[in-house]
Amino acid sequence: MTHTIHPTAIVNPAAVLGDGVSIGPYCIIGGEVKLGANVKLHSHVVIDGNTSIGEGTEIFPFASIGTAPQDLKFKGEPSRLEIGARNSIREHVTINPGTQGGGLLTKIGDDCLIMIGAHVAHDCQIGNNVILVNNATLAGHVHVGDHAIIGGNSALHQFVRIGAHAMIGGMSGVENDVIPYGTVMGERAHLAGLNLVGLERRGFKKDQINELRNAYRMLFAPEGTFSERLEGVSEQYASSAVVKDIVGFIRTKSSRPICQPDKAA
């Protein structure tokens, strides 16, 4: 097994290093850390705690990964941080492990881009191909679905869920759950439509996009109650997989309400 460790780096002998790992100057690696094959750490990276990082992930200078969560209730429980393969974690990113109240696990999937200054708090669950733009901030227990994009300088309230393929506009404060394929924006974010650009880029078919458009209009129409409209959408689009994603997301129990369109718009 071969790996490269700069002489100024401090690596606990108990750390597990995969083949081809590269550790740059002044990095500090704790004893419970596991680095997969071909993980590359640039200079001044700190990785601590019970943290595993998947193969091919690259971490840039001054990132702090796996240090104790920013939660006053945390008393040193044996929590974990799992980061998948082929992620790019840029400068000054901070990612914390889980807590007792959230299942003791923070988890990030594969092929994510976490840009400069972003923060992933304790007990967050992030899917695959997610992008966190510069200074995006995730509070504790946030769930982010596959292919979602979290805009720069945005802030997500604790326990918020972001559906797959959703887009969060820059500088948005997100207090409520965001449906799959939705786009939200604003100082206190409101639902601003569907993430049509993202859907087209990812190869969704025209009939799928049309189903989503029609279901969205029906779901957020002014007539009737939200629960009545949800039932109507569920019945009318029972054979549509993409619409069922939204219906299932809304029906899943959550501590946060669903983000709605701005009535004043």
Pick the CATH number of 200-251 from 1.20.1180, 3.10.50, 3.90.940, 3.40.50: 1.20.1180
pLDDT at position 264 is 55
Q: Active-site residue numbers?
A: 122-123, 140
Q: What is the rounded CA–CA span in Å between residue 126 and residue 128?
A: 7
Spatial contact of 96 and 104, defined as CB atoms under 8 Å apart: no
Selection from 126, 169, 168, 122 nearest residue 145 by Cα: 126
Q: Supply 18's token pair.
A: 């995969």
pLDDT above 70 for 127:
yes
pLDDT above 60 for 36:
yes
What's the mean pLDDT when you consider all of the chain? 96
Q: What does residue 229 show for φ and ψ, rounded to 5 degrees?
A: -65, -40
* One fold for 4-141 and 200-251: no
pLDDT above 70 for 265:
no
Please provide the DSSP assignment of 185-226 as one string: ETTTTEEEEE-HHHHHHTT--HHHHHHHHHHHHHHT-SSS-H
Percent of the chain with pLDDT strictly greater than 90: 96
Q: Each residue of 69-96: pLDDT tens digit?
A: 999 999 999 999 999 999 999 999 999 9
Average pLDDT over residues 53-79: 96
- Fold assignment, 4-141: UDP N-Acetylglucosamine Acyltransferase; domain 1 (2.160.10)
Selection from 157, 192, 196, 194 nearest residue 173 by Cα: 157
Judged by DSSP in three states, 21 sits in: coil
Q: What is the rounded CA–CA span in Å between residue 13 and residue 30?
A: 9
Q: Each residue of 10-34: pLDDT tens digit?
A: 999 999 999 999 999 999 999 999 9
Average pLDDT over residues 108-113: 98
**Model pTM?**
0.95
Q: Supply 35's token pair.
A: 């680095």
Q: Supply 61's token pair.
A: 């200078």
Average pLDDT over residues 216-222: 95
Q: Each residue of 128-183: pLDDT tens digit?
A: 999 999 999 999 999 999 999 999 999 999 999 999 999 999 999 999 999 999 99
pLDDT at position 262 is 85
Domain ranges (residues) in the chain: 4-141, 200-251
Selection from 143, 140, 147 nearest residue 254 by Cα: 143
Please provide the DSSP assignment of 106-126 as one string: EEE-SS-EE-TT-EE-TT-EE
